[in-house]
Amino acid sequence: MEMFVEYTACHDCDLIARIPSLKAGEKAYCPRCRHLLAASVKNGLEQALALAFTALFCMVLANLFPFIAFASKGREQVMTLIQSVVSLYRHNNEILALLVLAFIILIPTAIIIALITILYPLLTQRRKIPYARRLGRMIFTLQSWCMPEVFLIGVLASLIKVASMATVVLGLSFWAYVGFSIAFTVMFARLNRHQFWNTLAPLQDPDPGAATTAKAAHLASCHICGHLTHAEKRRCKRCHRCQPMY
């Protein structure tokens, strides 16, 4: 395998640093501000793939069974995860219903499927699928828009008030979504961005010369994959992200 001299620019202070070859468990920090620049997680991609399958399985279960049930004065109401979105829509909260659907179901599921699509052939058959870089860019772009844990905290906060007025029964779907949230969170904890992109698309960074910062070297550090790109190109050479920023 061809070895590259790898540089990166700190996203906090813009200092250009050379990334050494990292062994499993090692991390590289910015020598100026101590910001984490890169890390090598032992079997990180394999663990991320296993957790992605687990999260996908839990998400399927969370949409097949009752999420929560309320019982009061002889009346009982059962609600599924999808019905919570439908209920918001029927009560004239269309925008809120769309946001809940996107942030707790659609976007997390799309990320999991994209990650499995990339990692499964890459790790089992040592081959890359077409559009793998675009899918990788989508994963890390949408990561901050996934809020399963925020949704669960909101549900639990609501149950504190509802529990005083009715009997609350947490269904299998609720516990499946709890499992999904845990698997999803740990998946990203094991999915190191530096390790992911160096495995998917190893690429030589431009030599910054004597410059100490990316701005001084007229380079831009991509916030998606970390690759240094000549600023005038306005597009990352590795993940094809438009307008990489300093």
How confident is the prediction along the chain (246 residues), in pLDDT tens digits per residue? 445 567 888 888 888 888 887 888 888 888 889 988 888 888 889 999 999 999 999 999 999 999 988 877 777 788 888 988 998 898 888 999 999 999 999 999 999 999 999 999 989 877 788 889 999 999 999 998 888 888 888 888 888 877 777 788 888 999 999 999 999 999 998 998 888 988 888 888 888 888 888 888 888 888 888 888 887 777 888 888 875 444
Sequence-distant (≥ 6) Cβ neighbours of residue 206 within 8 angstroms = 7, 219, 228, 229, 230
How far from each other are the two terminal CA atoms of the chain, in whole angstroms? 30
**How far apart are alpha carbons 149 and 206 in whole angstroms?**
39
Tokens of 27: 């991390």
Return the structure tokens found at 34: 């101590």
pLDDT at 226: 83
> How far is C-alpha 83 from the chain's CA centre?
26
- What's the farthest any 2 CA atoms get from each other in the chain? 77
> What is the pLDDT at residue 70?
81
pLDDT of residue 124: 87
Residue that is written with structure tokens 């920090």 in the block: 29
Q: What is the pLDDT of residue 137?
A: 92
What is the model's pTM?
0.85
Q: DSSP for the chain, please give it.
A: -----EEEE-TTT-BEEEEPPPPTT-EEE-TTT--EEEE--TTHHHHHHHHHHHHHHHHHHHTTS--EEEEETTEEEEE-HHHHHHHHHHTT-HHHHHHHHIIIIIHHHHHHHHHHHHHHHHHHS----TTHHHHHHHHHHHGGG--HHHHHHHHHHHHHHHTTTSEEEE-HHHHHHHHHHHHHHHHHHH--HHHHHHHH---PPPP-TT-SBTTTTTEEE-TTT--EEEGGG-B-TTT--BS---
